[in-house]
Amino acid sequence: MIVGQEGALEQILVALFSGGHVLLEGVPGIAKTLLVKTLAVLMASDFKRVQFTPDLMPSDILGTHVFDARTTEFHLKKGPIFANFVLADEVNRTPPKTQSALLEAMEERQVTIEGEKMLLPVPFMVFATQNPLEYEGTFPLPEAQLDRFMLKIVMGYPQANEEEEVLRRYHAGFDPHHLENLGLIGVADALVLTKVREEIQKVIMKDVLFHYLVELVSASRKNVHLLVGASPRGAINLLLCAKTLAALRGRDYVIPDDIKEMAFPVLRHRIILRPESEIEGLKPDDVIRSVLEAVEVPR
């Protein structure tokens, strides 16, 4: 279904098996939506897409009570948040008030509608796509919401040979709007996902790697280019993702390279650069790279 983007695909599987949410960033038209729709089909799960716009209200996401004239009673009309896989498309095109409607759902796996708490289905995973901030009509996501995303995955343009393969598939009749006609079937479900996560829990993490991980996040908090370094939640997510990456690659133990590789998608949205460093042209990934180079890797 997806040509190329192997790095992004692996990171999305890491988030799925680690129980986290994903922020996808990239220009329009690089198959972000198709990727999530395909994953939902393969997981035999419900999928809902919400197009975020400047006039979107929180009730459009969560749902609301509607009056039924026949029964003279109110009943709940659930919003698209009540799905296993929720795609918040162009989440930074809506103001912060509506963006924050996702907060409770993402962190607590529940929503509150007119004072009534309701649990969300299992599994529950939010994929939010955002256009780069220099695009017109975008709002930066609040730091509190950014921290709820386990990973921020940056998807770039495909390589020339990959784009040529995409064109050949469309020429041969590929239609992403009708996945049911492409032979896709569910290969896992909530039960399988639970078992996978139980196995990942058994992955071994040596004491020296706990120390290394803490040194990395501590170094980010002292970095001269950063106003805000990695949060404790960032450290926890880096641990969980390193264990999952090790399992995906066929190991029952974590090595330093697992932590170093996952540091970029786990931390890039959690650190805040100083304005003068941004003016110099530094990016979050540049700072993370310098932090990784500054901390000694355990033997």
30 and 169 share a domain?
yes
38 and 168 share a domain?
yes
* 275 prior amide bond cis, ω within 30: no
β-partners of residue 155 are none
Residues of the chain with pLDDT under 70: 131-139
The CATH number linked to 246 is 1.10.8.80
Domain of 217, in residue numbers: 202-294
Tell me which amino acid residue 53 is.
Answer: T
**Cβ density class 206-235: b for 16+ within 10 Å, e for less:** eeebeebbeebbebbeebebbeebbbeebb
127 and 218 share a domain?
no
Q: How far is CA 256 from CA 8, 253, 270, in A?
A: 20, 10, 21
Last residue of a domain, one of 138, 157, 186: 186
What number of helices (H) and strands (E) belong to the chain? 13, 11
Element (H, E) at 51: strand 47-51
> Rounded to a whole number, what is the largest CA-CA distance in the chain?
72
Q: How many CA atoms lie within 13 A of 274 on its CB side?
A: 12
Q: Is residue 193 part of a domain?
A: no
266 and 239 share a domain?
yes
Q: Is residue 21 part of a domain?
A: yes
Q: How many beta carbons lie within 10 A of that of residue 195, not counting itself?
A: 11
97 and 216 share a domain?
no
Q: Yes or no: say if 56 and 89 are a contact pair by the CB < 8 Å rule.
A: no
The reported pTM is: 0.86
55 and 173 share a domain?
yes
22 and 101 share a domain?
yes
Q: Yes or no: say if 166 and 29 are a contact pair by the CB < 8 Å rule.
A: no
Domain count, the chain: 2
Q: Is residue 112 part of a domain?
A: yes
Spell out where 131-237 has E strands: 149-154, 226-228
pLDDT of residue 22: 94
240 and 106 share a domain?
no
DSSP per position, 78-127: E-TTSSSEEEEETGGGS-HHHHTHHHHHHHHSEEEETTEEEEPPSS-EEE
CA distance 289 to 260: 9
Residues 6+ apart with CB under 8 A from 71: none
Model confidence pLDDT, tens digit, residues 10-58:
999 999 999 999 999 888 888 888 888 889 989 988 899 888 888 888 8
* 54 prior amide bond cis, ω within 30: no
221 and 176 share a domain?
no
Tell me which amino acid residue 124 is.
Answer: F
pLDDT of residue 145: 77
148 in helix, strand or coil?
A: coil
CA distance 297 to 295: 6
140 and 252 share a domain?
no
pLDDT of residue 16: 94
